[in-house]
């Protein structure tokens, strides 16, 4: 049988996650790199291979969106930092994604959109209209959300006869994360408590929206209508000075945070997601150790625990890259994990 031609893919953004996926697009034979969109003017004009330490590809990076829109490509890996995470307008990402979809390119994004229905029918209608125009699909993915807090628990419910409560815990160690923009500017690590309180507001709004999507997705898949998604967060201050890849953490500056998102039905949690982020887990003893846990309370009760993912950035990038073929083959429209060829179960839900 003749081999299928490689899928032409655009890499949009080459930050901490985007560099991993760019390397995969260059080195895996089932893909052909069609273009690269960069935000740093210093990267524009450079060969894509140079950005990730590989031989030249013949594909020059560009910071001009119109050039990307004009390309012939099967898919775009859309991986910028979300506009809303720094206080920008969430609709800026929607505008970009709709333009890409309408131009005839499928889009896989790590900026959310794991369950756009969470934002109401208006947004879904707009995304679906762009998909119809371009004959394309949109898929939001990542490692959490995108895997740990939605795909993994849904897969486990295939063993459930009854589900009372779904609990997910993740703890991530950021000591090796290279982006100061992410670790300090977005998450607020290395800042004083006063500065953190102000700086983290956009991130809090982004986190609330992002994990509300994940919680709503799982609930909808299990036939549960949530009344609301409740969020709470707290932080920890360092007691000593230590260095991480993104900078220096000094005493009395923020070194960890804990976020909890609960989907409530009649005031009781049906699903809870707990996320703990540490600047350096070897220096922060409070809260859980790096790794993840999925616990389903019901019949039977199940607990799956995993150790620390050695490189969450690589995992997030790989999950997106590994979705390309399925998304390109899917019918046009907004595609969640429920629409792709991934096995999930649906146990009977009991609400007290």
For the segment 121-157, what is each residue's pLDDT rounded down to a tens digit? 999 999 999 999 999 999 999 999 999 999 999 999 9
pLDDT of residue 92: 87
Nearest by Cα to 324 from 10, 64, 1, 37: 10
b/e per residue 319-350 (b: at least 16 CB within 10 A):
bbbebbbbbbebebebbbbeebeeebeebebe
What's the mean pLDDT in 51-55? Answer: 97
pLDDT of residue 2: 52
Residues 88 and 181 placed together within one structural domain of the fold: no
Does residue 108 carry a pLDDT above 70?
yes
Residues 106 and 230 placed together within one structural domain of the fold: no
pLDDT averaged over every residue in the chain: 92
What's the mean pLDDT in 109-120? Answer: 93
**Where in the sequence is the domain holding 99, given as residue range(s)?**
7-142+317-334
Q: Is 72 exposed, middle or buried (0-12, 13-18, 19+ CB in 10 A)?
A: exposed
Residues 81 and 186 placed together within one structural domain of the fold: no
> Residue 129: which residues within 8 A CB-CB, separation 6 or more?
98
CA separation for the pair 207, 154 (Å, rounded)? 21
Residues 134 and 234 placed together within one structural domain of the fold: no
CA separation for the pair 316, 210 (Å, rounded)? 15
pLDDT, tens digit, 9 for 90 and up, residues 232-261: 999 999 999 999 999 999 999 999 999 999
Please check whether residue 262 lies inside any domain of the structure: yes
Helix (H) or strand (E) holding 193: helix 193-199
Please check whether residue 344 lies inside any domain of the structure: no
More confident residue, 309 or 277: 277
Please check whether residue 266 lies inside any domain of the structure: yes
CA separation for the pair 140, 134 (Å, rounded)? 18
Residues 98 and 128 placed together within one structural domain of the fold: yes
Please check whether residue 349 lies inside any domain of the structure: no
Residues 106 and 173 placed together within one structural domain of the fold: no
Residues 135 and 157 placed together within one structural domain of the fold: no
pLDDT of residue 138: 98
What's the mean pLDDT in 2-26? Answer: 93
pLDDT of residue 346: 43
CA separation for the pair 346, 34 (Å, rounded)? 39
pLDDT, tens digit, 9 for 90 and up, residues 155-182: 999 899 999 999 999 999 999 998 898 8
What's the mean pLDDT in 31-35? Answer: 98
Q: Number of structural domains, the chain? A: 2
Residues 14 and 47 placed together within one structural domain of the fold: yes
pLDDT of residue 309: 84
What CATH number does the domain containing 25 carry? 3.40.50.720
Residues 63 and 202 placed together within one structural domain of the fold: no
Please check whether residue 282 lies inside any domain of the structure: yes
Please check whether residue 49 lies inside any domain of the structure: yes
Please check whether residue 326 lies inside any domain of the structure: yes
pLDDT of residue 349: 58
Residues 118 and 197 placed together within one structural domain of the fold: no
**How confident is residue 102, by pLDDT bands cut at 50, 70 and 90?**
very high
Please check whether residue 352 lies inside any domain of the structure: no
């Amino acid at each position: 049988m003749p081999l299928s031609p490689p899928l032409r893919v655009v890499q949009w953004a080459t930050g901490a996650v985007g560099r991993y996926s760019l390397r995969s697009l260059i080195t895996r034979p089932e893909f052909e790199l069609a273009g690269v969109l960069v935000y740093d003017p210093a990267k524009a004009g450079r060969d894509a291979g140079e950005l990730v330490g590989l031989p030249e590809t013949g594909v020059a990076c560009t910071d001009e969106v119109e050039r990307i829109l004009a390309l012939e490509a099967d898919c775009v890996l859309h991986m910028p930092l979300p506009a809303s995470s720094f206080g920008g307008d969430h609709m800026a990402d929607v505008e970009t994604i709709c333009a890409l979809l309408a131009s005839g390119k499928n889009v896989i994004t790590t900026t959310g959109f794991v369950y756009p229905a969470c934002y109401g029918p208006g947004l879904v209608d707009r995304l679906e209209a762009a998909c119809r125009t371009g004959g394309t699909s949109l898929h939001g993915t990542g490692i959490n959300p995108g895997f740990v807090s939605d795909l993994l628990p849904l897969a486990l419910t295939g063993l459930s006869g009854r589900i009372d409560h779904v609990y997910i815990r993740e703890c991530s160690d950021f000591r090796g994360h290279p982006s100061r923009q992410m670790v300090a500017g977005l998450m607020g690590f290395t800042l004083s408590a006063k500065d953190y309180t102000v700086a983290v507001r956009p991130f809090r709004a982004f986190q609330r929206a992002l994990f509300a999507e994940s919680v709503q997705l799982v609930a909808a898949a299990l036939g549960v209508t949530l009344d609301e998604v409740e969020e709470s967060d707290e932080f920890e201050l360092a007691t000593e000075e230590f260095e991480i890849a993104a900078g220096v953490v000094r005493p009395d500056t923020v070194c960890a945070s804990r976020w909890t998102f609960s989907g409530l039905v009649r005031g009781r949690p049906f699903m809870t997601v707990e996320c703990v982020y540490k600047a350096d887990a070897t220096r922060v003893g409070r809260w859980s150790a790096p790794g993840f846990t999925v616990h389903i309370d019901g019949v039977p009760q199940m607990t799956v625990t995993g150790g620390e993912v050695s490189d969450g950035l690589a995992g997030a990038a790989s999950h997106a890259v590994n979705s390309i073929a399925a998304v390109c083959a899917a019918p046009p429209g907004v595609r969640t994990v429920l629409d792709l060829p991934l096995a999930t179960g649906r146990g009977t839900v009991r609400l007290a």
